[in-house]
Amino acid sequence: MAQAFTKAMARNIFYGGTAFFFLLFLALTFQTHSVVPERDNHEAINDVVALGKKVWEENDCIGCHTLLGEGAYFAPELGNVYKRFGSTDAIKAFIASRPRDGVPGRRSMPQFNLSDEELEAVAQFLKYVSGVNSANWPPSPQG
């Protein structure tokens, strides 16, 4: 049988295609870097927000919640929680008031025993995230 399509051709498509599309991906990434500053609400980033992100990470909030749709699907979306709750005070009150032993038969957020500073920081972090331009996502305020 005549070899119309050889292994060498297949190999070249692999190396050539991979190189080309990886470079295209880098180019798109480069372009992304020039556009994102207009949408990422970086003006809101300060030491408090940085601490808030640390609190967010060190309590593994993403293990139950989604943030801009990424994370676990056990608890509500929090990328827009600042808008849904209306204030950082409401967010802080919610986190601080979780019962230590949970709610019988229901899902309940753990009591993380955050200090006032940490509470404020995580609320400010969530406020900052709500200011990121997420292309009008989520479709409903319910997240």
CB of 49 to other proteins, least distance (A): 7
CB of 107 to other proteins, least distance (A): 3
Q: Report the distance separating Cα 142 and Cα 51, nearest Å.
A: 27
Q: Which of 83, 93, 94, 103 binds other proteins (CB under 8 A)?
A: 103
User: DSSP string of 49-105?
Assistant: HHHHHHHHHHTTGGGT-EETTEE-SSS---TTHHHHH-SHHHHHHHHHT--TT-BTT
Question: Site map for other proteins, 28-47, x if CB under 8 A?
Answer: xx-xx--xx--xxxx--x--
Cβ-based nearer residue to other proteins, 13 or 93: 13
Contact call for residue 96 and other proteins (CB under 8 A): no
CB 131 within 8 A of CB 67: no
Q: Which of 82, 87, 102, 120 binds other proteins (CB under 8 A)?
A: 102
Site for other proteins in 70-89 (CB under 8 A): 70-77
Contact call for residue 94 and other proteins (CB under 8 A): no
Nearest CA among 55, 78, 58 for reference residue 66: 78
CB of 116 to other proteins, least distance (A): 16
Cβ-based nearer residue to other proteins, 74 or 93: 74
For the four alpha carbons of 82, 69, 120 and 94, in that order, the dihedral sign comes to positive
